[in-house]
Every structure is written in structure tokens, then in C-alpha cells.
Chain A
Amino acid sequence: MRKIFSFLLLAALLTGTGFAQAAEEWGIDGEKKARFEAKVVDVLCELTGDCPANCGDGKRQLGLLKDDGTLILPVKNFDIFAGANNDLIGFCQKRIVADGLLINNPKMPLFALQFKKLAPDGKWSRADQFGKDWSKANGGKKGSQWFKNDATIKKIISENGVYGIPGLKAKE
């Protein structure tokens, strides 16, 4: 019995269908681990019928449309201060299996994408594409510190200050 069990465990690990992709808890109020199949859609297109090619090429928020018609809004991935757009754009109009946290908040529901794969049998990958893409676009600088080194952010903060109001200082 034990042998069978350890064999199953090994098989699960080797095929990558085991524990590695299980959603992890982040300790956020109302969070619940969730795994579901859905089609990746351009939210603006889905709502208004304004549909540019390739779901807006990464410049538009992407949604996850389930078979029952429910539209889920992913707002976060694994990278610090980043969304899930870079993880999903490669799957525009395709069905994926999404794994992560559904956050049932009274203000509005949110989804944090942690892993994704092409449905039904694609290879799982971690939802950390933003950091990878940023790193590639910034000469290999560490993606984990992207927000401190990003040129767009630096420009905005240097012009207006951390509080957003030029010249405003904290009380001594």
C-alpha cells in the first residue's frame, strides 16, 4: 500500500500535476483558492464590442470568461505591484486553466492569478511574466526590484515627489 502511494506521489511530481502549482494562501480577507477553466478575453471588447486585434496586444485589461458566462477580473500576479496581463496575453481568445485566489470582497470580487496553463493539458507556469518581461526590457536588471528602477515611475516621482504634490514635505 505504501509502495503504491509513494509511486503515485512520484508520478504526480514527475508529470507536474502534483503540488507545485497549487495556489498559495496570501492571508487576504475573503480569499479562497480557486482553479477553473476560462477563455482569455479583452474586457473592453467583451463589454462594449470594441475589439482590436490580439486582445489589444497587452495594452488592455484581460478577463477570464467562464463557460457559464461569468467574467472574472484578474488584477494581480506573483510579481510585486504587478498585474496578470503579461501572463495572459499569450493566451488571447484561448482557454486556460487558471489557478490562484478568488477574493470575495464586499467592495468587489478580485482574482489573483498564481499559475496558468493552456487548457486542458498545457504545461503549468508560474504567473510571474511581468517581472521577466520587465527584466528583458531593462537589460537584465532584477525583475524583483522593477518598481524602484522603472524609468516611467522614476520620472513621475521625480517630477511630483512621493506624495504626488511637488514640494510637499512631511511634517517634522
Chain B
Amino acid sequence: MVPAAELRSYYDRPVIKAPVWTWEIPWYFFVGGLAGASAVLAAGARIAGQGRLARSARLAAGAATVVSPALLVADLGRPARFHHMLRVFKPTSPMSMGTWVLTTFGPAAVGSAALAELRWLPGLQRVAEGVAAALGPGMATYTAVLFADTAVPVWHEARRDLPAVFAGSAAASAGALAAITTPPRHAGPARRLTLLGSALELGAAEVMRHRLGDLGEPYEQGDAGRFARASRLLTAAGGMLVALAGRRGRLPAAVGGTLVLAGSVCQRWAVYRAGFASAADPRYVVGQQRARLRARAGAPG
């Protein structure tokens, strides 16, 4: 990256526009990830014969799914036109793909939870559960592609790593919520998922920042930096607590699980805010492009 002193810009003004999205988006990324990973956990627990855990996860997926579209619609400039998303199926648009994933996943996850609670139509319930589980990973990761497919340097240049960060964060949050809502003796898989998810989230975020190099600076400064540090701390502490003390009682599971959930929320906020900082500063946009041009010209540096 070009040092600030050498870099030229137009009165230091941004070259690209920062997103116009508001708080609903990072919250949706969290809630949608939670829903997706919970749906996978529900199916996994059911296959493993862990009915109590499956129920917790199913309910979590259903509840999170109900919140998701509300957040998305609220963020639109014209909320009453949300259904315009449904007039096209557009593979070049991650948001269009996400819309269709959510449109299919939503009824499946909610239906699966409702039918299971009501003990109606067990055949259909299983189909719904299967559909939700199949789309769960998509729910947890498409949002990373959505961010990565923008001109925002800190998002686009993290395109290889962002999905793993979100997948880890989603897995950790689903495990944590299930560990909170399930009696400890049934919650072993949830605790293990919390630990695995937290490890994936922390590891992938580390790799991402490392590979971003100078472009990753927003993760160390300002709002994004605070969220990133909080996320690391909360996820690590909560993950350890759930894994080590979660089986001893509901209190440690609840405390640890809450920390992990908070860490997952902070992770999305860190990524979200870092994007704004990255878009606002022409140093990142121009610097990265100049570096690319130099690399293409084969010049050293």
C-alpha cells in the first residue's frame, strides 16, 4: 500500500460510496447466521438421537427466522416494495440469491419447529427439517459473499476468508444458544459446537486480518477495532467457559453462552464498521489499486 504521504486524492474525499445500510444489517447477519446454523444443529441432533437438543435448536432456528425478514425489510429505502426482490432470480446478485435462500429456508425452519411442537404431520416436519438443514449453511455464509461482492476494500479483499468467519460465528452462536436453552446433560453436542465454532471464528478472523495486511487497518482502529477486540475476548472467554464448565450447571452454560452470543454479534459489527471505515478513506481504495497496478506492471514494490 502506498504510504499516506505519497498518495494523492481529491481533497481526501472518498472514492467509493460507503454503504447506506443501517443497524438492521449487522443484526440480521447475526440472526440469520444463528438461524442457519441452528437448523443444521437441529437435524444433526435429531439424527444422533438427541431429541431434547434437537428441539432447542429447532425452536432457535424458527424464532431467529421470524425476526430475519423484519430486519431486512426495515432496512430498505422503500420497505413496502420488499416483494420486488421476488420478481427476479439473479445469480450475479448475492442479495437475490440470499433472498431466495431465505424465502425457502424461512418457511421450512418455522414450519419444522411449529409442526414438531404441535406434533402434526411428522412426515412433512421431517422434510421441512431437512430443507432447513440443507439451506442452513447457505444462510450462514451468503451474507459474507454479499459484503465481499462490493467495492469496499476491506470486504472485497477478504473474500476468501469472510465466509469462514461468518460460518464460525454462526456455528458458535447456534451452539451457545442451544447450550443455554438445553439442560446440561443433553447439551454435550451444543457445547462442542460452541467450542468448534468459536475456534473457527477466531482462527478465520485472524487469517483474514493477516491476509488483509495494511488494508485490515480498520480492524485495529475506531469502532471496528473496538468491536473486533470485544468479539475476540467475548468469544474466547465464553467458548472456554461453555466447554469447561458448561456441563456442571445451567449458570456457567448461560454465562458462557451469552458471552459467545455477544462475541458473535460483535464480530458482525466489526466487519460492518470496518467496511464503512475502509470505504471512507481514499487511502485504502486508491492505495490498493495503485499496488495492484504496480504488481501488474511487474514493478517492484
A complexed with B: no
Residues of B within 8 A of A (CB): none
